[in-house]
Amino acid sequence: MSGGLSRAEMAAWLARDIPEGWYVNLGIGLPTIVADHVPAGREVVFHSENGVLGIGPAPAPEQVDPWLINAGKQPVTLLPGGSYFHHADSFAMIRGGHLDLCVLGAFQVADNGDIANWTTSLSDTAPAIGGAMDLAIGARRLWVLMEHTTRQGLPRIVRRCSYPLTAPGVVRRIYTDLAVIDVTAEGLRVRDLAPGIDFATVQARTDATLLPVSR
């Protein structure tokens, strides 16, 4: 969309808001690159649901360990202090509320915090949930990172999700190429705008009603 942030800029926008010491799970796709944008020197511990805590930067091609992948099945590295555990323990961390933050991509987010991110149709040939439903309800905070609209220009932030839900009422904040939006009891409130983007532009590309930035 015209004037919005690049994907790397979106990831960096979100990464700046992660405090030191948080335990964070990054969903498959766009959220994964958030790890590359954490400000230098800030220790954030990344979790992957396949049993890894303390994920470091992507390895150089010649340093790939085929035994070490993340939930997106990409090769990763482990930082000093990292650890491995099995799937039941990994989801105990998730469902038990031990993650400070989970960042997921989404097809749609509704103004009540509903998220739809696993399938656009129940008649999908092979509908795949993976860890999305556990992550959506388990982490202390769920932030969504996604393009503000679809490639066809349709809003992803809606009054009611038309796609099957991943979880109801769980999204706390949305980062897009246009804005950062908090899900509050009063509704969706714009928290920040991308450079050169004004409130009216964001509202025009949003199905749900937005509240302006409160200063």
Partner 1 sequence: MIDKTVHSVAEALDGIADGAVVLLGGFGAVGQANALVEGLIAQGARDLTIVANNAGAGKIGLARLLAAGRVRRVVCSFPRGGAGASVFEELYKAGKVELEIVPQGTLAERLRAAGAGIPAFYTPTGVGTVIAEGRETREIGGRTYLLEYALPGDAALIEAWQADRWGNLTYRASGRNFNPVMATAARLTIVQTTHLVELGVLAPEAIVTPGIFVDRVVRVATPADAQA
| Chain contacts with partner 1 (rule: CB under 8 A) | 20-21, 23, 43, 45, 47-54, 65-70, 73, 78, 80-88, 90-99, 122, 125-134, 137-138, 164-169
CB of 114 to partner 1, least distance (A): 8
Closest CB to partner 1 among residues 109, 194: 109
Q: How far is it, in rounded angstroms, from Cα 49 to Cα 129?
A: 13
Nearer to partner 1, 66 or 153 (CB): 66
To the query of whether residue 186 is one of the catalytic residues in this protein, the response is: no
At residue 203, what are phi and psi to the nearest 5 degrees? Answer: -60, -40
CA distance 192 to 38: 19
Shorter beta-carbon distance to partner 1: residue 53 or 146? 53
DSSP alpha helix (H) spans, the chain: 7-15, 87-95, 132-138, 199-204
CB of 166 to partner 1, least distance (A): 7
Determine the Cα–Cα distance for residues 141 and 105; give it in Å rounded to an integer: 14
Of residues 126 and 204, the one with the C-beta less far from partner 1: 126
CA dist., res. 158 & res. 195, Å (int): 23
Q: Which is nearer to partner 1, 116 or 146 (CB)?
A: 116
Q: How far apart are CB 83 and partner 1 at their closest, in Å?
A: 4
Give the pair of three-digit tokens for residue 117.
Answer: 């991110």
Helix (H, G, I), strand (E, B) or coil at 112: coil
- Dihedral over Cα of 64, 67, 68, 70: its sign: positive
Q: Which residues, 6+ apart, have CB-to-CB distance to 186 below 8 Å?
A: 211
The catalytic position among 9, 49, 147, 186 is 49
Bin 73: left if φ > 0, else alpha if -120 < ψ < 50, else beta: left
List the catalytic residues.
49
